[in-house]
Structure 1
Amino acid sequence: MTGTLYVVATPIGNLADASARAIEVLRAADVIACEDTRTSRTLLARQGIATRTFALHEHNERSAGARLIAELRAGKAVALITDAGTPALSDPGALLVEAAHREGIRVVPIPGPSAALAAFSASGFASARLLFVGFLPAARAARRKALEAIDERGAVIFYEAPHRVAETVADLAERFGAEREIVIARELTKLFEEIARLKLGQAPAWLEAGPHRQQGEFVLVLGPEQEARDRDLAAGRRVLALLLEVLPASEAARLAARISGAPRRELYRVALERKPGQHSR
Structure 2
Amino acid sequence: MPVKSTLYLIPSPIDGSYNSHQVPLAETERIAHLRVFVVENLKHARRYLRKLLPEVAIDDCTFYEMGKHATPESLSRLWSTMKSGTDAGVISEAGLPGVADPGGSVVSMAHQMGMRVIPLIGPGSIFMALMASGFNGQQFSFHGYLPREGADRSKKIRELESQAHRTGYTQIFMETPFRNNALLDDILKSCGSSTMLCIARAISQADECINTRSIQDWQKSTPNLHKVPVIFLIGKI
TM-score (norm 2): 0.81
- Establish whether residue 15 from structure 1 lines up as the match of residue 18 from structure 2: yes
Q: Mapping of 1:1-281 within 5 angstroms?
A: 1-13=3-15, 15-16=18-19, 17-46=22-51, 47-48=53-54, 49-50=56-57, 52-61=61-70, 63=72, 64-147=74-157, 150=160, 151-152=163-164, 153-173=168-188, 175-208=190-223, 212-224=224-236
Contact 1:144 1:171 in 2 (8 A): yes
Contact 2:135 2:235 in 1 (8 A): yes
> After the TM superposition, which of the residue ranges 173-182 and 112-121 deviates more from structure 2?
173-182
Between the aligned residues of both structures, percent identity stands at 26
- Listed as ranges, the gaps of 5+ residues in structure 1 are 227-281
Contact 1:9 1:85 in 2 (8 A): yes
Q: How many angstroms apart in 1 are the aligned matches of 2:136 and 2:158?
A: 24
Q: How many angstroms apart in 2 are the aligned matches of 1:142 and 1:50?
A: 48
Amino acid corresponding to residue 177 of structure 2 in structure 1: P
Q: How many angstroms apart in 2 are the aligned matches of 1:204 and 1:162?
A: 20
Q: How many angstroms apart in 2 are the aligned matches of 1:127 and 1:96?
A: 28
Q: For residue 12 of structure 1, report the CA deviation from its aligned partner.
A: 4.4
Q: How many angstroms apart in 1 are the aligned matches of 2:158 and 2:4?
A: 45
What do the CA deviations read for 1:67-97 (whole angstroms, capped 9, x no partner)? 3222211211011111221001111211111
Q: How many angstroms apart in 1 are the aligned matches of 2:128 and 2:137?
A: 15
Question: For 2:63, what is the secondary structure of its paired residue?
Answer: strand
More helix, by proportion: 1
Greater relative CO, 1 or 2 (CA 8 Å, sep 6+): 2
Q: How many angstroms apart in 1 are the aligned matches of 2:143 and 2:75?
A: 25
Q: Which has the larger radius of gyration?
A: 1
TM-score (norm 1): 0.70
Question: For 1:198, what is the secondary structure of its paired residue?
Answer: strand
Amino acid corresponding to residue 217 of structure 1 in structure 2: P
Q: How many angstroms apart in 1 are the aligned matches of 2:147 and 2:77?
A: 31
- Listed as ranges, the gaps of 5+ residues in structure 2 are none
Aligned residues: 222
Amino acid corresponding to residue 221 of structure 2 in structure 1: W
Contact 1:62 1:95 in 2 (8 A): no
Contact 1:27 1:50 in 2 (8 A): no
Per the alignment, do residues 65 and 97 of structure 1 end up closer, same or farther by CA in structure 2, a change over 3 Å counting?
A: farther
| CA RMSD of superposed structures (Å) | 2.4
- Which runs of structure 1 show a deviation greater than 4 angstroms over 4 or more consecutive aligned residues? 173-176
Amino acid corresponding to residue 138 of structure 2 in structure 1: A
Q: For residue 148 of structure 1, report the CA deviation from its aligned partner.
A: 5.2
